[in-house]
Amino acid sequence: MDLRALIFDVDGTLAETEEAHRQAFNETFAAEGIDWHWSPDTYRELLRTTGGKERMRAHRDVVGFGPSDADIPELHKRKTARYGQIIDAGGVPLRPGVEELIRQARAAGIRLAIATTTNRPNVDRLVEATLGVPASEIFDVIAAGDEVAAKKPEPDVYLLALERLGLPPETALAFEDSLPGLASAKAAGLKVVLTPSAYTTGEDFTGADWLMPNLCCLSRLIGV
């Protein structure tokens, strides 16, 4: 394989961020007087819907009450701000092997990209909090969910990352932790390394090219 780039999902792949997202959602609901509280089991089901605003709409449609479509974007902004505060506090480290893989790839001249459903501010906060530098100093390309028409499992965000890299899919590897992410990357023509996260462990990841518990010791896979 003529490997030229690694493309990473963020939530659940770079770091176990989903519990921080759940906490931020619940604290925002409480602060706004919305009678919702997402348990871990509820949130696991909601993660099948990609995108925070989309999850709120999906939950409202199931329970039959909650914020209107007009109110959800502002509510999501407040949730994003709270999530940023949690990340800034340093309670969400990178998953095992991530920092080493990034370092090895950069040393080998392999380009790095992000293809995520989350928005750009969340990417920036996580990278700054865990690696101590702006995301743009680590990743050559960042494609975020608020830049595409359709979120995962559609391939749009991976296609955007490949377009910005100027590379065909056969020269890149995608790193994912979820079924929507796997479907998105495969639909874009990419091979996928799947590392299940706390909220996706036990799911059927048939179709992944590699299924691994974490990103440790991938030197041979990326050829360094």
Q: What residues are annotated to the active site?
A: 9, 11
Number of residues that this document lists for the chain? 224
Buried b (16+ CB within 10 A) or exposed e, 196-209: bbebbeeeebeebe
Residue 56 dihedral angles phi and psi, to the nearest 5°: -65, -40
One-letter identity of residue 193: V
Backbone phi and psi for residue 57, each to the nearest 5 degrees, phi listed first: -65, -40
Q: Sheet containing 172-176: give its strands across.
A: 141-143, 111-115, 5-8, 172-176, 191-194, 210-211
